[in-house]
Amino acid sequence: MKIESSNLGFPRIGAEREWKRVLEDFWAGKTEEKDFLPAMKRIRLEHIKKQADAGVNRVPVGDFTLYDHVLDTAVMFGLIPERFQHREGPVSLNTYFSMARGAEGKAACEMTKWFNTNYHYIVPEWGEAEPVLTENKPLTAWREAKEELGIEGKPVLLGPYTFAKLSKGFKPADLPGVLKKLVPLYAKVLRELEDAGVEWVQVDEPALVLTHPHGEMEAVEEVYQELARSVSGVRIMLQTYFGSIEHYQDVARLPVAGIGLDFQAGREGNLHSLRRFGFPENKVMGVGILDGRNIWRGDLPQELDFLEGELRSLGACSGWWIQPSCSLIHVPVSVGKEEELPPVLKRALSFAEEKLEETTLLTRALCERKEMVEEGLQAARDALHGLARSELRTRPEVREAVRQVTELDTWRDTPYPERRRIQQERFRLPLFPTTTIGSLPQTREVRGARLKWRRGDWSDARYREFVKKEIADWIHIQEELDLDVLVHGEFERTDMVEYFGEKLDGFAFTRYGWVQSYGSRCVKPPILFGDVEFREAMTVEEVVYAQSLTSRPVKGMLTGPVTILNWSFVRDDLPRQEVARQVALALKAEVKALEAAGIGMIQMDEPALREGLPLKSEEQKTYLDWAISSFRLAVSGTVAETQVHTHMCYSDFHDILEAIREMDADVISIETSRSHGELIEAFETHTYDKGIGLGVYDIHSPRVPPVEEMAESVRRALRVLEPSLFWINPDCGLKTRTRDEVVPALRNMVEAARHLREEQRLKVHG
């Protein structure tokens, strides 16, 4: 049996986010296309060479993108919405980026979460136009690597079933027809790769791990049968990840040369299938043995025992590819520069470059005499054991506090109908109250001031005064705009999770640990490695100062426990629900501090609640039970007069509306702008009786939507929602936008609210 090393995808952004800088300079007009494309090419080739130099046998090519790999696939197949006025032929960069970010008079395509990760993809839209191949992107990538580097890579292609499942614009029953339209295009791509001399193609089909009707497998089988009839010389590695294959027997029978299995998130399910049905002898198994979504070093001796023992005993196959469980775009690039981490923690970490080393080390251990790599294997185990024994990791008092929590502790004392009456008397807000989600523009001056403070160039006092000035300026702007409920702007915060992690025990922080969230937007997740404990008030000073400047309510802004969990790299030695309760108890102490300081509205955001939902339907209730319970625990100590808000964005909420109601928040805001109000349809079958704001404009686009467009999105919602419950707000925080974009957009939003109030007044009074 031949054993090789493989990788599924590499971070695009670069060790110091050089990809992001090149991209944003192009958007800002500082770089022309003739300079932009060569700069991106240099980055792309550097990443390919780095993987080859690490000893990876099967290096992916074509996984690199200028924005998003799903958008790349849509553009490659000519799925350009009519509003972008593309006719035929190659798609321009202007059209490509307009689809991603929007343009004047052209709303951006919808953006949502890539399965249950924090990566966002651009949703393909199927319209009237027939799909057509505009460019063979995998072939271009393969030729580039071969000609420039002499490396014959493994082209990566998003599979037809997954591409169709991630698309919109057709009914589920039409899926077989959509796949039939795609098959000739995929066949042409593969034939051209075959003609060029490509040996293997990685076809990503993560949708095969979803809970889906067995009938869809018939359509999948037809697709791959047709591809096998059309192309015989190129070998397909059908790659799955993020869980175990749902209909394993059917997938195992597909006419492909290899099947990639996830032995991290999908280990239990995939092993069950292998024990029961075996693995095809004539296929290569892609063994996803190293965690591609977390940053902990693998216990390599343990994984080697698994490979040589249980996995090998399950039957013969034509070969193994030892590889990460999924693409490495979900982890930072390199641990090497992280000089400020505690040594015991740093030794236990593995980012993308280190995971390549682990991959090749395991491959060598299987192919050579084990003693030749024994030192490396043992170093991995020693690093993990060192962290486990560290006093940094365990706080007995925190563990005991979690054990003492009961179900009754996770509910507020006063039911919502009574709270609503009390809060209406306290705040006396108009119909359709207006507010923002929390953050306001983080200008170059704001970022520069924070950097000077962190470097020690500014004293704490000088930095606090700067932040106060920003708060005061924006309180004045919000009052001028006539917003009903204000925010302090979060100018003191870098990231909505990092900020809280820095003020709680149990977290550590990297300097270069960036990962891509969407487009050029990168985040630096904290490392949640120890027990979490509240130290002192984290947000009170800034919010109380803002409230002192106005008679209008100012919301206290917190990040919820589930989002802190899902947007951190979390320890893997405790159940996630136990870690979530630790975070919830720490946040509960902050909520009490805000209440004690006189803050009457507290927003605890949970934008990542949906993304943590397991992909298997049978596992979802367990997750939702402890996730919703953790949110309620964090706000359970509030008095009836305190109005609790929460916010969620960029996910499909249709199937969890009942769980959202169980959060028992007084007001919830949910993104609907990019999905063009489609979430509203869910309320036709699910009643909702608490305050709700469906974001009326897309903050991820520089476009300023007109008044009537925002008003119309609310009118659609009012067909199924009670007007007295409705709030008017943007769909997300405004930190990434400029003042020149934010002020006119909010002015239009307030004007839209006025129009809607007058319409309701006329409806009631004639």
649 is in an annotated binding site: yes
Residues 165 and 108: beta-carbon distance below 8 Å: no
Angle, CA 152 vertex, CA 146 and CA 154 arms, to 5°: 125
The reply, when asked if residue 20 is annotated as ligand binding, is yes
- 438 labeled binding residue: yes
What's CA 364's distance to the chain center, in Å? 34
d(CA 68, CA 82): 20
CA 561/CA 533 separation, integer angstroms: 13
| Residue 605 marked ligand-binding | yes
Does the annotation list 611 as a binding residue? Answer: yes
Q: Are 400 and 621 in contact (CB under 8 A)?
A: no
Using left for φ > 0, alpha for ψ between -120 and 50, and beta otherwise, residue 197 falls in: left
Residue 637 annotated as binding? Answer: no
Q: Is 19 annotated as a binding residue?
A: yes
Flag whether 490 is marked binding: yes
Crossing angle of the two packed helices 137-149 and 33-53, in degrees rounded to 10: 70
User: Which candidate in 69, 120, 212, 700 is catalytic?
Assistant: 700
Was 367 annotated as part of a binding site? no
Sign of CA dihedral 89, 93, 94, 97: positive
Q: Is 113 annotated as a binding residue?
A: yes
535 marked as binding residue? no
Give the number of other CB atoms < 10 A from CB of residue 77.
22
Closest by CA to 590, choosing from 607, 602, 605, is: 602
Alpha helices in 395-538 (DSSP H): 396-403, 416-427, 444-455, 460-481, 498-501
Question: Which two three-digit tokens encode residue 59?
Answer: 């290096």
109 labeled part of a ligand binding site: no
Please report, for residues 100, 516, 661, the alpha-carbon distance to residue 67 in angstroms, rounded to integers and kept in the order given.
8, 10, 35
Q: Please indicate if the annotation marks 470 as binding a ligand.
A: no
Tell me whether residue 567 is annotated as binding.
Answer: yes
Report the distance separating Cα 254 and Cα 273, nearest Å.
Answer: 16
**What's the CA gap between 123 and 118, in Å, rounded?**
15
Q: What angle do CA 342, 117, 737 make, to 5 degrees?
A: 85
User: Is 514 known as a binding-site position?
Assistant: no
Assess whether 645 carries a catalytic annotation: no
| Three-state SS annotation for 509-570 | CCCCCCEEEECCEEECCCEEEEEEEECCCCCHHHHHHHHHCCCCCEEEEEECHHHHHHCCEE
Say whether 671 counts as a known binding-site residue: yes
Task: Answer whether 281's CB lies under 8 Å from 315's CB.
Answer: yes
Phi, psi of 225 (to 5 degrees): -65, -45
Q: Can you tell me the distance from the alpha carbon of 144 to that of 63, in angstroms, rounded to the nearest whole number? A: 13
Tokens 């979490």 found at? 532
CA 252/CA 284 separation, integer angstroms: 11
> Which positions make up the binding site for L-homocysteine?
437-439, 490, 605
> Which positions make up the binding site?
17-20, 113, 437-439, 490, 521-522, 567, 605, 611, 647, 649, 671, 732
Enumerate the active-site residues.
Answer: 700
> Which positions make up the binding site for 5-methyltetrahydropteroyltri-L-glutamate?
17-20, 113, 521-522, 567, 611
> Which positions make up the binding site for Zn(2+)?
647, 649, 671, 732
> Which positions make up the binding site for L-methionine?
437-439, 490, 605
